[in-house]
Amino acid sequence: MTRSDRLSLAHLWVAIAAFGVASAMALMQALSRASLDLPFRTAKMYYLSVTAHGVLMALVFTTFFIMAFGYVVVSRTLDQEPTGMPLAWAGYWIALVGTLMAALTVLSGKATVLYTFYPPLQAHPAFYIGLTLVIVGSWCWSIVMLLSYRTWRASRPDRPAPLPMHGMIATVIVWLIATIGVAAEVLFQLIPWSLGWTKTVDPVLARMLFWYFGHPLVYFWLLPAYVLWYTVLPKVVGGKLFSDPLARLVFVMFILFSTPVGFHHQFMDPGVSAGWKLLHTFLTFAILFPSFITAFTVTASMEVGGRAQGATGLVDWIGKLPWRDPLFSSVALSMILFAIGGIGGAINASFGMNAVVHNTAFIQGHFHLTVGSAVALTFMGAAYWLLPRLTGRELELSLLARVQPYLWFIGMMLFSISNHLTGLMGMPRRIYDASYGGSTIAAGWRGLTGLSAIGGVFLFASAAFFMLVMLGTGLAGKRVTPQRVEWAEPLHPVAPGRGWFDRYWVWAAVAVVLVLVAYAYPLWMHLQMPRYGSPGFKPF
């Protein structure tokens, strides 16, 4: 095993472990919402586990998987070891220590603040410090990714980055811009306040900084999934990438529009004026565009694959696709779920309409289709493809791997559709119990919360299958000569030189300008206002 693969694997195992723990917690939450009385069901346990599930899934599983995949992209497309191996390992250990700190603080009940940790709910300082270390670790990774690209480019000044690397560079740029917000919130507001050095914090300022980070965080998760869709999937279906330049355009658009949109999470907030919320709405809709292009290009690439297998009719290419291959089925099913989630996202972002769904179960239905399916299911599929290639072991229990994506799809449809509906009926998200003292209005949600719980059971079974395959492969998989990691060829030959889409400094600079347009003035205005801080509360 190469040094680079050892690095990737170390990250991958942390991601898998975080996923396993977080999935187990999710089952209990889904059952609790349906008022199923389990012996260990208490409000304290429920909110603690919602916090742990959010932190471990949204921050730890995703970040570690993305770091692992980033190093695979470097070693397999640039054909070199990541530049700065000591820094890469330092980043790994820093992020791992941070993860353990934050997770243990949550599990000990001292940080039941959910993964959004809105002040003035106040967690133990170890929670904030742990999360900071995870971010610092990811910054080390970001630097290693950029240094690796620079090393590669030094000897090939005229060639564009291979497409997978192009996507990962976009991911890194989005991440570096985005994390400024959460770093400012945690370092200047929350850590000093939780240590008692400052008495109060301004909760709206904290929310502005959090959501400055919180929405591009979504694209930090999504872009590596798109890299897999564009550059691995066409290869798996025996086809070719339909359009290389459009894929590059898509990643550039995400660099530009990922960050200046955060107020669409704060539509219902006081203290932020409606005009700025409207500007962020416009920018939010701009970011639908690259996802529309992706839907076409990736589907067209699949069709190219189906026709290469002999399909000639209008839709018979769909049947020629490798539906038994867990990477393919994961991605294809995650795309269907993402299409539904994307339409829901347009509703969430619709300025006035948001009031109907804000903080209802609609939102949890929505993001389980996006990050919980488009991202998580793609990553699981990618793990089936990646783990054997990194470890040199055959995939064990491959029948479970084949079934798992379908179980996830069924579970997610049940869970998510029912939560969208109860959300429209007004049921809040993140509640331990949905009975509201026997309210007849709340009683109307009962059947659907039961359906959502059944979805949760399917999802848990799916997650358990995934874990069994991962552990079986890692511990007992038959050793074989690993298959090569292969990337899709473009359908049409690509222009040989570097083009506009490869000028990362330019795009990063434009992105910063857009961020300033969207945030500088409202933030400055906010700081001018007479404001009163809040002391901390620990109602958990």
Partner 1 sequence: MNVPLYEKIWMWASGLLIIAFLTTIVVGVAGSSLQPPSHVETIDPTKVWNDPRFAKRGATVDDHGATVVLIAMMFAFQPAEMHVPANKPVTFRLTSADVVHGFEIVGTNGNTMVVPGYVSQFTTTFRTPGEYLIVCNEYCGLSHHLMSAKLFVDAEGARP
Identify which of residues 268 and 399 has a Cβ nearer to partner 1 in the complex. 268
Q: What is the DSSP string of 237-283?
A: TT--BS-HHHHHHHHHHHHHHSSTTGGGG-TT-TTS-HHHHHHHHHH
Does position 419 interact with partner 1 (CB under 8 A)? The reply is: no
Cα–Cα distance, 252 to 274 (Å, whole number): 29
CA 435 and chain centroid, separation: 32
Cα–Cα distance, 463 to 466 (Å, whole number): 5
Catalytic residue from among 53, 368, 402, 420: 368
- Catalytic site residue 366? yes
| Nearest distance, CB of residue 155 and partner 1, angstroms | 27
Residue 37 CB contacts under 8 Å (≥ 6 apart), including other chains: none
Q: With left for phi above 0 and alpha for psi between -120 and 50, is residue 202 left, alpha or beta?
A: beta
Residues 44-63 that bind partner 1 (CB under 8 A): 44, 47, 50
Print the binding letters for residues 130-169 with partner 1: x by CB under 8 A, - otherwise. ----------------------------------------
Identify which of residues 141 and 229 has a Cβ nearer to partner 1 in the complex. 229
Residue with tokens 């191996």: 85
CB 302 within 8 A of CB 234: yes
AA letter at 229: W
> Looking at 41-49, 67-75, 217-225, 502-510, which segment touches partner 1 (CB under 8 A)?
41-49
Identify which of residues 497 and 539 has a Cβ nearer to partner 1 in the complex. 539
Among 6, 156, 503, 531, binds partner 1 (CB under 8 A): 531
Whether residue 119 has a cis bond before it, omega within 30° of 0: no
Q: What is the DSSP string of 184-228?
A: HIIIIIIHHHHTTSSS-B-HHHHHHHHHHHHHHHHHHHHHHHHHH
Does position 29 interact with partner 1 (CB under 8 A)? The reply is: no
Q: What is the DSSP string of 145-158?
A: HHHHHHHHHHT-TT
Query: Quick check: helix, strand or coil at residue 72?
Result: helix
AA letter at 538: K
Does position 529 interact with partner 1 (CB under 8 A)? The reply is: yes
- Catalytic site residue 384? no
Q: Which two tokens stand for residue 471?
A: 């552990």
What secondary structure, in 3-state letters, does 396-421 show?
Answer: CCHHHHHHHHHHHHHHHHHHHHHHHH
Cα–Cα distance, 234 to 486 (Å, whole number): 10
Print the binding letters for residues 331-370 with partner 1: x by CB under 8 A, - otherwise. ---------------x---xxx-xxx-xxx----------
| Nearest distance, CB of residue 440 and partner 1, angstroms | 9
Identify which of residues 45 and 470 has a Cβ nearer to partner 1 in the complex. 45
Does position 118 interact with partner 1 (CB under 8 A)? The reply is: yes
> Looking at 141-149, 168-176, 237-245, 382-390, which segment touches partner 1 (CB under 8 A)?
237-245
Catalytic residue from among 11, 166, 215, 280: 215
Catalytic residue from among 213, 429, 466, 519: 429
| Nearest distance, CB of residue 442 and partner 1, angstroms | 7
Identify which of residues 188 and 285 has a Cβ nearer to partner 1 in the complex. 285
Cα–Cα distance, 165 to 171 (Å, whole number): 10
- Catalytic site residue 215? yes
Does position 243 interact with partner 1 (CB under 8 A)? The reply is: yes
Residues 191-220 that bind partner 1 (CB under 8 A): 202-204, 207
- Catalytic site residue 53? no
Catalytic residue from among 115, 210, 219, 460: 219
Closest CA to 257 of 291, 228, 224: 291
Residue 278 CB contacts under 8 Å (≥ 6 apart), including other chains: 351
Residues 252-271 that bind partner 1 (CB under 8 A): 266-271
Print the binding letters for residues 60-99 with partner 1: x by CB under 8 A, - otherwise. ----------------------------------------
- Catalytic site residue 367? yes
Does position 420 interact with partner 1 (CB under 8 A)? The reply is: no
Cα–Cα distance, 104 to 98 (Å, whole number): 10
Identify which of residues 86 and 530 has a Cβ nearer to partner 1 in the complex. 530
Identify which of residues 91 and 234 has a Cβ nearer to partner 1 in the complex. 234
Among 90, 162, 342, 433, binds partner 1 (CB under 8 A): 433
Does position 293 interact with partner 1 (CB under 8 A)? The reply is: yes
Identify which of residues 342 and 472 has a Cβ nearer to partner 1 in the complex. 342
> Looking at 63-71, 127-135, 324-332, 526-534, which segment touches partner 1 (CB under 8 A)?
526-534
Distances from the Cα of 444 to the Cαs of 112, 337, 366, 453, in angstroms? 29, 26, 21, 16
Give, as one character, the DSSP assignment of residue 374. Answer: I
Among 437, 438, 496, 497, binds partner 1 (CB under 8 A): 437
Cα–Cα distance, 502 to 498 (Å, whole number): 6
Applying CB under 8 A, the site for partner 1 has a residue count of 76
| Nearest distance, CB of residue 514 and partner 1, angstroms | 17
Residue 152 CB contacts under 8 Å (≥ 6 apart), including other chains: 78, 80, 161, 165
Count of other CB atoms within 10 angstroms of residue 521: 12
Identify which of residues 384 and 501 has a Cβ nearer to partner 1 in the complex. 501
Does position 296 interact with partner 1 (CB under 8 A)? The reply is: yes
Catalogue the active-site residues.
215, 219, 366-368, 429-430
